[in-house]
Amino acid sequence: MDGFAAVLASIWDLDEIALSAADIMGAQANLKAGTEITEAEFWDSHSLDEQRMYSIFCLIYGSNPREHSDLLNQIGMPVEESTRCQYEYQTLYKNWGRVLEAYLND
């Protein structure tokens, strides 16, 4: 669902909200730093907080690389990974567009 939310945020020009959510996940990960990850956390329906944070940053970057070029430095993403973010965003955008097409064209 993070991917869906990131795509909607980019479409509705609410990138800052998605990035704020990613920052919160990063803060949660920092609070948990040094504590042992339990097996139960791997069974959760969500990825680990830090993974979710990087995924959202990646998708928002991929939605508009020119506008969000600062994200590469902000999260330390290697430039080689940036094309993957663009591909992942475009894939999610197209797939969700197909699912929601009937609702968006009314």
State the CB neighbour count (10 A cutoff) for residue 42: 9
Whether the CB-CB separation of 54 and 88 falls below 8 Å is answered with no
Q: What is the pTM of this model?
A: 0.74
Which of 57, 51, 55 shows the shortest CA–CA distance to 19? Answer: 57
What pLDDT score was predicted for residue 46? 64
Tens-digit pLDDT profile for residues 15-58? 888 888 777 776 666 556 666 666 666 566 666 777 888 888 89
Each residue's pLDDT tens digit, 63-97:
999 999 888 888 888 888 889 999 999 999 999 98
Torsion of CA 46, 55, 92, 72, to 10 degrees: 170
